[in-house]
Amino acid sequence: MMPGPAIPAVATASCSFRQDDEALTRSFRFGETEHCSSVRSPDPTHDALGDWWRSYLVGARPRTNQSQRQIRVAELFSGPGGLAQGVKQACRELGYEFHSAFAADHDSEALGVYKDNHGAEYTTSTSVSSLVDYRIDGRAGDASWSPRQEPCLTDSRLSDLAGTIDLLLAGPPCQGHSNLNNHTRRDDIRNELYLTVPAIAIAAQIPMIIIENVTAVVHDEQSVVATTHELLRQAGYQVTTGVLKADRLGWPQTRARFFLAACLETAPIPIDAISSGLAAEARDVLWAIGDLADVGEDDGMNRRPQMSKENVNRINWLFENEEHDLALHMRPDCHVNGTTYTAVYGRMHKGRPAPTLTTGFMTPGRGRFVHPVRPRVLTPREAARIQGFPDTYRWKSPDAPETKSQLLAKWIGDAVPMPLGHAAALSVLGTDLTT
């Protein structure tokens, strides 16, 4: 595939709001192009962005008169659909019709949740690496597809979709890059899965790409980001990379992810320009979950884990002493002489955004996951809110009679917060609106 003529990047992106008696309207501007959508906001405050997202969290869908084309989406390493949720919301606000054509993840139950919420023409739980054959010569700036094996799809169903997909999403396994991984960090075999994304994009002729990962992915020993950038450049894509931070976008969580966005022959809006254009003051954690503080416990999304006597005492101590960090004498023996993980067993601050959620949010010993105003850890519903999933999101896999707490925690904790996927989607879709 030979590079096509470059189209100058749309260097700016911004949003604004206006309120009338019936609706709250949000406007996105990409260069000289403006696009508007609205939601009903019967009880508006002076926090327009907060009203907009609150409407979203309870299930409101934006209305727009500026109808665009259908966006056919494929996703690799999809999980239960966090990245897709953010992209779908961006599509709705810009007047696109989000259509899931393909999704792949080794977790078949997560795929069931994905399909139940987003639909998909075709799903597979086989390894993503088995969907494509390719060989790469060199690394980073010296990388190229080997003439002995340029990217070729090996899955017949995916091959049938080649040339029909508009946007490829991917969240390759990030455990190998995570700063929490002290064993194989930066040099983990799972890191190589990142390179399946450009291979499938090129083999399936997909013109737009969004890849997300932990911020430390840029330090990978095998230079997977730089290699991907070079392989896409040679195939005619223009690429932007950068870090998006949920709290910098006004969301009540301090989570950050690294994004690579690419468009074939056109330039995506720079990630940094998206981040600057959408910058807003972060809301606090109670903005997202304050109304759930006293919701009754159930066996679904409002379930609460059984706590050991020691952990009950630790949580009670935080509230009895009006503290947010647990004293050393209350910690396990391995912490008594000091610890660098001071947030562990900690209580959230009610006037601040939530810390980065992990799969351990239902366990006090895994982070600062004690509720800010109630002596307990977060429920799955509260964590899902903090991650940006609306209350209407369906978490029970159609293939499983019961979704275990451990599985819910993994799905929710590993997900990409909706505002991050939403912002990344603007990078590629905003360009589409101006061409």
pLDDT at 402 (0 to 100):
64
Domain that holds residue 216: 13-285+416-434
Number of residues assigned to the chain: 435
CATH number, position 230: 3.40.50.150
> Considering the domain boundaries, does residue 408 fall inside one?
no
> Considering the domain boundaries, does residue 28 fall inside one?
yes
> Considering the domain boundaries, does residue 182 fall inside one?
yes
Q: Which residue has the higher pLDDT, 216 or 265?
A: 216
Q: Name the residues annotated as catalytic.
A: 174
> Considering the domain boundaries, does residue 32 fall inside one?
yes
> Considering the domain boundaries, does residue 164 fall inside one?
yes
pLDDT at 6 (0 to 100):
41
CA distances from 132 to 45, 198, 200, 205, 214 (A): 51, 10, 6, 13, 24
Long-range CB pairs of 342-350, under 8 A, 24+ apart, other chains included = 343/367, 343/368, 344/368, 345/311, 345/314, 345/370, 346/318, 346/370, 347/315, 347/318, 347/319, 347/323, 347/371, 347/372, 348/285, 348/324, 348/372, 349/284, 349/285, 349/324, 350/284, 350/285, 350/286
> Considering the domain boundaries, does residue 58 fall inside one?
yes
> Considering the domain boundaries, does residue 302 fall inside one?
no
Read off the pLDDT of residues 121-134 as tens digits, 9 standing for 90 and up.
999 999 999 999 99
Read off the pLDDT of residues 319-378 as tens digits, 9 standing for 90 and up.
999 999 999 899 888 876 767 777 899 999 999 999 999 999 999 999 999 999 999 999
In the block, residue with structure tokens 């399909």: 115
> Considering the domain boundaries, does residue 349 fall inside one?
no
How many domains does one find in the chain? 1
- What global pTM score does this model have? 0.92
Residues 6+ apart with CB under 8 A from 346: 318, 324, 325, 326, 367, 368, 369, 370
Give the model's confidence band at 3: pLDDT under 50 very low, under 70 low, under 90 confident, else very high: very low
CA distances from 339 to 204, 298, 331, 364 (A): 49, 35, 10, 15
